[in-house]
A and B are shown apart, each in its own frame.
Chain A
Amino acid sequence: MTVIEARNIGKRYSLHRSNASYRALRDDIMNAFHWFTHGRGKRRDTDEFWALRDIDFSVQQGEVLGIIGPNGSGKSTLLKILSRITPPTTGEVKIRGRVGSLLEVGTGFHPELTGRENIFLNGAILGMGKKEITRKMDEIVAFSGIEKFLDTPVKYYSSGMYVRLAFAIAAHMDPDILLVDEVLAVGDAEFQKKCLGKMEEITKKQGRTILFVSHNLDSIRTLCSRCILLRNGRKIIDEKTDLVINSYLKDIYKENITGYVFKNDLSKEAVITRVEINSEQGNQSGFLADKEINVNVEFEINTPIQALLCLMVTDKENSPYIFSSEKDDRPDNEQSLKSYQKGLYRALITIPPNTFIPGFYDFKLQIDQPFIKTFDITSSLSVIVSEKTRPLGVHWREKIQVKIAPSISYTITQKT
């Protein structure tokens, strides 16, 4: 039986050209006033873009459908439409059965309330009734493993406990169709395994339909029989999982190398004008963990300064992963800085192989006097590092959740 039938789904967003982070009533009133006094002038400038376009697909009951694609390809928008959080601009979706979404765990948790109270609150937000929650309470608590802290306000919980409780509640919803977005990226390895197990159990045993959005290709491979690849809001392939993943990876690696270009601004002392991140294999959107990553930088010095070129790498949670500069840092700051004359400079920064574990990183380049003055800093440049060519040692590493994965040589000789 077909439980989801999407036809011609499209979603258009308008971006206001003004840089204001929000819209002010004051501005609109002034604009309206201007309109009255100066007659029909220019309308408010907006740029439009289609987050999703012409999406057609159907899902059978009991099927586990994976949705993959690079950042900004429209995966989350698609789930938002299916869960009725936002309406589509075109097309329609027919859905048979109750839809539950796991778009982000812990939605609506209140820090002042206890674990037990939050189970009721969160359950109600997810569409469960009081009776249903009471009936499942024991199961939820057991699954989350936080029995001891059930009557403690969740503000005292560690982030791990928080996520475990949240997932436990969500996993015990009884929807006919479950929408999952990236939840498995949280929690420790053991808990992740438990979640994957739970998801498998949900589909296999109970014949429930699941739509699963993830960057984690491994879990997509384990869970999903069929997969949709999205790119720039369009459906590229809709096939068996292995086929789709392979073509996704091929796509990532052969994409043309493009640089990030920034404008020189003469009012600043120094400006980074171009950044190109590449590797023997791969480019901006995907690098292999066991290959060198090269960062090519061009910068212009407009006024002579004392400064350093620095590279900062953070993970997606913004915690710093690497901070490095062209010279070693020394306590006597003056001496460690470099004198730059006016002119255009080019730099090559090489990150050795096996520095990163697979994941998402933000690269930022800056010209500054560390802790004193920043002359220029680029916006975050996204970098995806995927598995090594030979997935050696992946098995252990995933269980232990290491932060770095260099290849380390062991030389052992027998003495006696």
Chain B
Amino acid sequence: MRELVIKPKSVFRLDVREIWEYRELFYFLAWRDLKVRYKQTAIGVAWAVLQPLLTTVVFTVFFGKIAGITTGNIPYPVFAFTGLLFWNYFSNFLSDASGSLVANRGIIEKVYFPRLIVPLSGIVVYLVDFFIGLIMFGVLVIVYGVHVSLLGIAFIIPAVCIATLASSGLGMFFAALNVKYRDVRYALPFFIQLIMFVSPVIYPASVLGRHQWLWYFNPLSGVLEGTRSLLFGLSPLNVPLLLSSAGMSIVLFVVGLLYFKRTEQWFADIV
């Protein structure tokens, strides 16, 4: 029979085996989120379709037409949609993960399970949204007659991985912070909006001119620029930028994970 010892403040240790044992809970929480979201199927899917579409329209009007941002040979809507596809995935997952512990306080206060499952299980819903977005992207590409490369399409997989690392790292960090400080949730939407404006989502990275080096600190820049340059073949892939983005997102992930694990045991007391 398994023996368990409960002791004060156990030393930091990531119990991967335990998380594996609770994989079904991960699956069920993700399933719950999906089910609830797509319960009224039309609205659920429409939401995944409309959100990037409408923002693309708005940005096309204001940035593409009025502000006149140049995006090379690529029509602005296609350009912006590529950015928004990743951005929506990143930001929705991030804000969902950040609020997840507070939203699930009922089960956190009552039942033991590896807490990491809560912020991370949200990923499934946003991956599904991302795929719906990808289909729309395909439609948009055909409509505008843009040529996309196979390599670019394949690149989407590592790009999503980098975005996921960054998003879940920040998400774990903010989820834990949100438990301790309840005003974090007011600051968060503002913070997320800031990230959008300092990332090449709706404008090309080239706008920074000779200050291009600044992009190296942004985990999303490599994802967005990399995807665009490979998909549309406009410019060669900026390998150092991509590596630095990947590195940054690993750093974010590790920092978020460490903070989460350090504070995890108090969640039930203060959530």
Contact = CB atoms under 8 A, between A and B. Distances in A.
B1 A176 contact: yes
A87 B51 CA distance: 43
Task: Count chain A CB atoms within 10 A of each CB in B2, B28, B183, B187 and give the residue with the most.
Answer: B28
A266 to B, nearest CB: 34
Contacts of A108: 104, 106-107, 111
Nearest to A118: B32
B65 interface: no
Interface in B94-110: 104, 106-110
A13 B270 CA distance: 10
Give the most central of A13, A82, A84: most B CB within 10 Å. A84
Contacts of A83: 111-112
A31 interface: no
B53 to A, nearest CB: 26
Given A80-B268, A87-B7, A176-B1, A120 B111 contact: no
A96 B10 CA distance: 19
A403 interface: no
Given A87-B265, A112-B36, A104 B110 contact: yes
A86 B113 contact: no
Interface in B25-61: 25, 27-29, 31-32, 35-36, 39
A117 to B, nearest CB: 7
Given A87-B9, A91-B8, A101-B111, A96 B2 contact: yes
B66 interface: no
A107 B106 contact: yes
A211 interface: no
Interface string B1-17: 11111111110000000
B181 interface: yes
A23 B182 contact: yes
Contact of A86 (B2, B180, B265): B265
Nearest to B37: A112
B41 to A, nearest CB: 13
Nearest to B10: A87
A81 B104 CA distance: 20
A24 B2 contact: no
Given A24-B182, A26-B183, A28-B181, A85 B112 contact: yes
Contacts of B1: 96-97, 176
Nearest to B23: A129
A125 interface: yes
A121 interface: yes
A409 to B, nearest CB: 47
A89 B8 contact: yes
Interface in A108-155: 108, 110, 112-113, 117, 120-121, 124-127, 129-130
A130 B4 contact: no
A161 interface: no
Given A113-B35, A121-B32, A85 B3 contact: no
A112 B24 CA distance: 21
Listed residue (B25, B31, B35, B177) with the most chain A CB atoms within 10 angstroms of its CB? B25
A121 B113 CA distance: 14
Contact of A94 (B4, B39, B184): B4
Contact of A127 (B31, B109, B113, B266): B113
Contacts of B111: 83, 85, 101, 103, 107-108, 125-127
A113 B5 CA distance: 36
Contacts of A120: 28
A81 B32 CA distance: 28
Interface in B148-188: 177, 180-184, 187
Contacts of A176: 1
Nearest to A124: B28
Contacts of A127: 22, 25, 111, 113
Contact of B5 (A93, A99, A112): A93
Contacts of B35: 112-113, 117
B39 A88 contact: no
A92 interface: yes
A90 interface: yes
Interface string B249-271: 00000000000000001101110
A396 interface: no
A125 B25 contact: yes
Given A23-B182, A113-B32, A124-B24, A88 B7 contact: yes
Given A84-B112, A113-B35, A117-B35, 6 more contacts: A25-B184, A26-B183, A87-B7, A97-B1, A103-B111, A130-B24
The 10 A-B pairs with the shortest beta carbon distances in the complex, nearest first, are A25-B181, A124-B28, A22-B182, A84-B112, A108-B107, A93-B6, A24-B183, A107-B110, A85-B268, A95-B4
13 contacts: A28-B181, A80-B268, A83-B112, A85-B111, A87-B7, A87-B10, A87-B265, A88-B8, A101-B110, A107-B111, A113-B36, A121-B28, A121-B32
Interface of A: 13, 22-26, 28, 80-99, 101, 103-104, 107-108, 110, 112-113, 117, 120-121, 124-127, 129-130, 176
